[in-house]
Structure 1
C-alpha cells in the first residue's frame, strides 16, 4: 500500500473513532445532568465523571497505532479505549490494555503473532503521517523507529508531552511491572526515566482501580520540574495524582532558608530516626498514682491508668485521658458506696424519710450514671488542665528545636555544626525531621480516611497513598526516604533516577546505599539502557566526566545523531557577558520554535542573568530533569569544581536534544 492510500485509510478510521468519541461524550453528559438519588448512584456518578474527563481530554492523539496480526486481525491502539457501537470487539484499544502490549513489545525476533506495526501521526482530527514497520526480520532495533526519531527531532516547547505512541520495550516492561514492592529504576540521561514514571502512573491507575481511591503521589525535585511535566498526566486522563516535592510534603511548613551542605548531609542520615524516637519516648510520662480532685474530694487513680500504648504520643495521651475520665468516675462512685456502707444504723431512720425501705443500695450509681459522670468529667476545664499538666501537648516544631539544640547522637564536631544553624526558619533537611516527629507525636485522631480529593490529600500529613512515584530519586536523603515510606506503608513505590547525576549532600554512590535504610534488601532493580534524547555527538563527551565522578555504571547507548558537533569557545571572564549575549540569540534563531537553555556555574549565574534575555538560566542542579533543543554551557570547569561537580557537569552536558555549545572561562 502506498503512502497516500495508507493516509486515506487511517483518516477514515480516525473519522469513525472521533465520531464515536463524540457520541459517548454526549451520552455521558446527559447522564451526568440527572440528579444522584443515593450513595450507589453518587459512586457511579464519580466513575462516569472520570470516563467523561478521559474522553474529553483525548481530542489530541486519540489514535496513534495499529497492529496487523498474521491471521488478518486489525486492531487500532489509542490514548483511550472506545467500545464499538454494536458491542463487538473494541473499536479502539486503550494503550494500557493487555491486548495493546504487542504494539510496544513485538519485534522481528518475537513478533507475538503480529505481521506489522503502524505508527499514526495526527494533528487534532487529521492524519498527517504513517510509519509502517513489518515484523518479519527487516526492521531495526527500535520499535517504530521512524515515528520515534521524528518525535525526538521535534522542537522542545518547555513542556513535556506524552510519549505513549513511541514507548520502547524496555520502557514498557517497567511501566507494566508489578507494583507489589519498591521498584528502583536506574537510567542515564535521555533514557526516558520521567516518561516511564508518568506513564507508569497512568498504567497503574488504569489497571488497579483501587489506587485511584487513595491516589498516587508524584514526587519531583523542584516546582520548576513539576511545572515542566504538569501537562502529561492530565493529557493521559489521570487526575487522581498529587504532585509535590519533599519540601512541600508537611502541610503548613515551608522551607524559608538555605543550609550548608555539611549540615544537610548530617541531618539527612537515618540515625535521626532513632534519635527522635528516643526523645519522644523520653517525653512520655512514666506511670504513677495520681491524686485528682472532684467535687471537693481527692481521689487516688492507680498508676495502671497511665499504662497505655497508642501508635503515637498524642494517641497514647488520648487513651490516657479517656481512661482517667472513666477511672475518676468509677472512683467517685466507689467513694459514695464506701460512705453508704460506713453509715451507722441510726442513719437508716433518716434515709426512710426519703425512701420507704431505707435500703442504702438505692443511692449507689448505676453503670449508666457512671458513664454519664465520665462524660461530664471529660468536658470539665479543670480536669482538662490536670491532664495537660500530667501529659502535656507537644508540637513537632518545639520537639525538633529541642533535639537540634542538643543532638547528643552526633559527634562533637557534627553537633557543633548543627547547633550553629539559625534558631529561626526551616531548611530543606529539617522537613523530613519535622515529618518524623509529627508522626511520632501524632494528633490523637484516626488516620486519614474517606474518598480522595487532591486538596484533601495535600492538607493531610498522614494521608496514605495507593502508590508513590519518585523522580530524580538519587537526590533523596535517608530521612527523605523515610518520609516516602510513611506515606505508603504497603511499599508500592516506583523510584526512577540516575545515581551518576546525584548532586545532593548525601554520600551515596549506589542505589543499595541510597535506599538501604528504608527498604533493606527488599527492593527490585531495573535499568534503562538506551539514550533517546541526547545525541551521540554529545554523549561521546561524557566518558571522562563519568570517570572523574567515580561512576561504576555503563553510560546509556545513544541511538540517534543530530549531525551537529558540540562547539566551544574560550573567553575571559570580562568578555563572558558579551559572549553570552551574542550566543543565546544566535542559538535561538537556529532553533526557532524550540527552546534554548543556559547552564552556568553557580557563582556566575547572578552576573549573567541580565544577558540571557528570557532564556532559562540555571545551575546544573536546577537543570536536572529538563531538556531543550540547544544548551549553552557556561564555565564547565567551574561546575566541575562545585561539590559533586562532575556529577553536575554530567547533568549539564546532557540536557540538549540537538546542539551543545560551551563557553569556557579563562581566568586570565
Structure 2
C-alpha cells in the first residue's frame, strides 16, 4: 500500500500550484501514515461471524485497514463497526460471533493464539490468558496503545458519539489516558472530514507527560491531532512566562471571579460620547447628534457581543445614521457610500474616543500593577486583601519586560477572548483535569465551544492549590455542564497489593471515591524498608541499594522523590555508578532508571518504582491533604513492583 502511494505520479494533474502543494502534502501524510511499526503487528484478532449478512465470513482486526492489490480488505480497522464485537461480544451476548481469536506477539513475532467459541453454551470463561499477559508485560519506553486489550466499559467510552461530551473519573491504572487517546483515534476515523476541518486537540499536564504519550496516536495511524499543555494553549507573543506566584496568589488568579473582573476591565474603556459627529461629503455636512450616538453605543453594549465585534459595528451604525439623513434629503446612497462614511476621519475619531482599542496583555498588566484600576474593576467581587494579593510588588515597565506567571497568561487569554472570539475546535481531550483551576477550565472550554470534550482525571490525584473537588463544578467552568460522568475502577496497571496500600489514603484525600480493584493476577513485588540509621546518607544508601535490586529485573525503573531530595539522590546515584534519565526521556535496555521529582510523576508509569521518603513528599506541599494526594500519585506509578525506602516515620494512614 505504501509502495503504491509512493509510486503515484502527481505531476501535471492539477491546474495551479496551490492545488499541487495541497495534493503533495496530502500524499506525504498518506505515506507517513503507512509507515511500518516493527513491534506493532498489523492484526491482533479475528472474528468469525455466525449468520446474517456477514455469516461465514472471517475478519482480521488490526490497528489499520489493510487491503490487497485488488482492493479487497485483508485487515479491518479496529474502529470499523464490523470490529466492535471483538471488544463487546460475550457468551451472554455473542453479537452473532461464532469465534473470537486473539493473537499473541513477542517483539513483533506471532507466538500464540487463543480461541473463544462464543456460540457454544456454557459459563463465561475467565479472563483471557493473552490479555493477562499483555496487561502484565513490562513497560519499556513511551506509552503504548491498548487497542488489542480494550475492555467493554472502555470501548463504550471510546465509541461515544462526537456530539457527546464525557468526563471519565478513573482511579490509577484504569487506563483513562489510553481511553482518551483511543477516543481521539476513533473520532478521527468516524468523522474524518469534519474533524480534519475543525481540528482535534489533546491537552496534558506537562511536557514530560506529552513526551510519554506522543507515540500512541501515530501507532494508530493518526498524525494530525495536536498535543499541548494548558501553558502552551494560552501562549501568545509578548507574554513570556518567567515568574511564579505564591500559592495564595495563584489560587486567586485561578478563581472564577476573575472572569467578571476582567469583563469589567475590558469594557471599562467604553465611554459616552462628549459631542456629536459631523461628516463632510462634498458641499454637504451631515450631523449625528450626541444623544443618537449614545443610543447606538447603548444598543451595542446590550447585545453582549465581543468587544472588537461591537467596535467594528459602531462606525457602520453611525454611517447608517448619516445615510438615513441623506435619503431624507432626496439622495440615493448605496452600500459603497455607507462604507466610505464609516471610514471618514470624523467617524474614526468618535470611535477612537468612545470605543478605544484594547490590548489584552496591556489590560492585564494594568490590572495587576495599578491599584486604583484594580479596585475599580474588582469592587464588590474581591476583598481589599485579595486585591493586594493580586498586585505585583514592582510594576513592570511594559508587556515584554513583565515577569508573567502561568496564571497571568491564562488571565490574558480570558481578556483576549472578551475582545475577540477564540476559534473553536471539533474535539478536545483534557487529561489530568483535576489539577486545573476554574480559569484554566474556561481557557480549555473556549477551544471547544462548538465542539465536544473528553475530560479525564481522578479527584484523588488533585495536587494543585486549586484542585477541583467536584466534576460537576469543573464541567460547569468548562462550559459542558451536560457532560456525562463515567467512572472506571477496574485497574490494569497497578498491582493488587500496591493499589490496596495506596488506597489507605483515600479516606483522607477523596472520601467519596471507591477504591480501585486490579485485574492483575500477580500481586506484584511490594516492600517497605526502613533504612538503617536516621541520617540523609543512610536514606541515600538505602535508595541506591533498592535501585540496584530493581535493575536486576526486566523493565523500567522510576526513582520518585520529593523535589528537595532530587539533587542529593542524583549525586548518590552518580557516586554509585548508576546512570539515570530525566522524566519523560525514553528508556533503553542500557538505561532503564529514571529519577523523577514527585511533582512530575503524574501520568507516568514504570515497571518498578523506588519511592524515597514518603513523609518528605507530604511535607514538600503547602498542606497535608495536598501532600497526601501527591504521595498517592507517587505510590501508584508502579506496574510490577514498589519498594518504599524511608528513615522518617511514615504518614499515619500508611503505618
TM (normalized to structure 1)? 0.80
- The answer to whether residue 542 in structure 2 is matched with residue 579 in structure 1 is yes
**271-280 or 534-543, larger mean C-alpha shift:** 271-280
Aligned-partner Cα distance in 1 for 2:277–2:480: 48
1:537 counterpart = 2:521: no
Distance (Å, rounded) in 1 between the aligned partners of 2:572 and 2:316: 66
Q: Distance in 2 between matches of 1:371 and 1:211?
A: 38
- 1:118-517 residue pairs with structure 2 within 5 A? 118-122=101-105, 126-135=109-118, 136=120, 137=122, 140-142=125-127, 145-209=128-192, 210-250=194-234, 251-252=236-237, 253-287=239-273, 289-291=275-277, 300-303=287-290, 304-305=292-293, 306-307=296-297, 308=300, 311-324=305-318, 367=333, 371=336, 375=340, 378=343, 387-404=351-368, 405=371, 406=374, 407-408=378-379, 409-419=381-391, 423=395, 424-442=402-420, 462-506=422-466, 508-517=468-477
Q: 1:27 to 1:651 in 2, by over 3 A?
A: closer
1:569 paired residue number = 530
Name the residue aligned to 2:571.
610
Unaligned runs of 5+ in 2: 396-401, 574-578, 582-593, 651-655
For the residues of structure 2 that align with 1:44 and 1:129, how far apart are their CA atoms?
42
Closer/same/farther in 2, CA of residues 534 and 412 from structure 1, 3 Å limit? same
Q: Which moved more, 1:572-581 or 1:551-560?
A: 572-581
Post-superposition offset of 1:123? 6.7
Match of 2:607 among 622, 629, 637: 629
Displacement of 1:553: 1.0
Write the mapping of 1:543-558 to structure 2, written as runs, cut at 5 A: 543-558=503-518
State how far apart, in whole Å, the 2-side matches of 1:31 and 1:492 are.
39
1:191-235 deviation line (CA, Å, top 9, x unaligned): 111110100000001001211211111110001111111111112
How far 1:50 sits from its partner (Å)?
A: 5.0
Residues 472 and 497, structure 1, Cα contact 8 Å, conserved in 2:
yes
Aligned partner of residue 560 in structure 2, secondary structure: strand
Q: Give the secondary structure class of the aligned counterpart of 2:93.
A: coil
The secondary structure found in structure 1 opposite 2:343 is helix
Query: CA–CA distance in 2 between the matches of 1:29 and 1:311?
Result: 52
Q: Is the 8 A contact 1:508 1:514 kept in 2?
A: yes
Cα 1:125–1:223 change in 2 (3 A) is closer
1:219 is paired with a residue of what secondary structure? strand
2-structure distance, mates of 1:486, 1:426: 21
2:263/2:418 contact within 8 Å kept: yes
Whole-angstrom distance in 1 between the partners of 2:114 and 2:75:
19
1:200 alignment partner, SS class = helix
Aligned to 1:350: none
- Secondary structure of the residue that 1:429 maps to in structure 2? helix
Aligned to 1:596: 557
Q: Give the distance between the partners of 2:332 and 2:57, measured in 1 at CA.
A: 79
Question: Cα deviation per residue 1:519-569 (whole Å; 9 max; x = unaligned)?
Answer: 474120112121101111211202321122143111221111254233323
SS at match of 1:608: helix
Residues 277 and 350 in structure 2, CA contact (< 8 A), matched pair in contact too:
no
- Which residue in 2 is equivalent to 1:354? none
Assess if the C-alpha contact under 8 Å between 1:301 and 1:324 holds in 2. yes
SS of 1:244's equivalent? strand
Q: 1:334 to 1:97 in 2, by over 3 A?
A: closer
CA distance in 1, matches of 2:12, 2:169: 49
Q: Within 1, Cα distance between the matches of 2:649 and 2:133?
A: 42
Map of 1:43-58 to 2, 5 A cutoff?
51-56=30-35
Secondary structure at the counterpart of residue 617 of structure 2: helix
SS at match of 2:66: coil
* Mapped contact 1:80–1:93 kept (Cα < 8 A): yes
Counterpart CA distance in 2 for 1:62 and 1:31 is 27
State the Cα distance separating 1:420 from its structure 2 match.
Answer: 5.2
| SS of corresponding position for 2:441 | helix
Does the 8 A contact of 1:289 with 1:300 survive in 2? no
Contact preservation (8 Å) 1:29, 1:52: no
Q: Distance in 2 between matches of 1:131 and 1:32?
A: 45
SS across alignment from 2:599: coil
Distance 1:661 1:290, change over 3 A: same
* Cα-to-partner distance string for 1:463-507 (whole Å, 9 max, x where unaligned): 310001111111111111111221111351111111111112125
Cα distance in 1 for partners of 2:336, 2:472 equals 55
Superposition deviation, residue 35 in structure 1? 3.1
Give the secondary structure class of the aligned counterpart of 1:177: coil
TM-score after normalising by structure 2: 0.82
Find the residue that maps to 1:91 and give its secondary structure. Answer: strand
SS at match of 2:493: coil
- Contact 2:167–2:485 (Cα < 8 Å) also in 1: yes
How many Å separate the matches in 1 of 2:10 and 2:528?
58
From 60, 68, 73, the equivalent of 2:48 is 68
Structure 2: distance between partners of 1:255 and 1:621:
19
Deviation string, structure 1 residues 100-153 (Cα, Å, up to 9, x no partner) = 0111111232222223322224478743332334435465454xx333332233
Change (3 A) 1:124 1:372: farther
Q: CA deviation at 1:384?
A: 5.2
Aligned length: 593
Residue 611 and residue 384 in structure 1: after superposition, are their counterparts in 2 closer, same or farther (change >3 A)?
Answer: farther
Cα distance between partner residues in 1 of 2:404 and 2:6: 48
Contact 1:310–1:319 (CA<8 Å) still a contact in 2? no
How far did 1:165 drift? 1.1
Secondary structure of the structure 1 residue equivalent to 2:647: strand
CA distance in 1: counterparts of 2:393 and 2:116, whole angstroms: 61
Which of the numbers 628, 644, 652 marks the counterpart of 2:634?
A: 652
Provide closer, same or farther for how the CA distance between residues 585 and 290 of structure 1 changes in structure 2, counting only shifts above 3 A.
farther
1:92 equivalent in structure 2: 75
CA distance in 1, matches of 2:487, 2:26: 35
In 2, Cα distance between the equivalents of 1:125 and 1:141? 26
- Structure 1 unmatched runs, 5+: 1-20, 338-363, 448-461
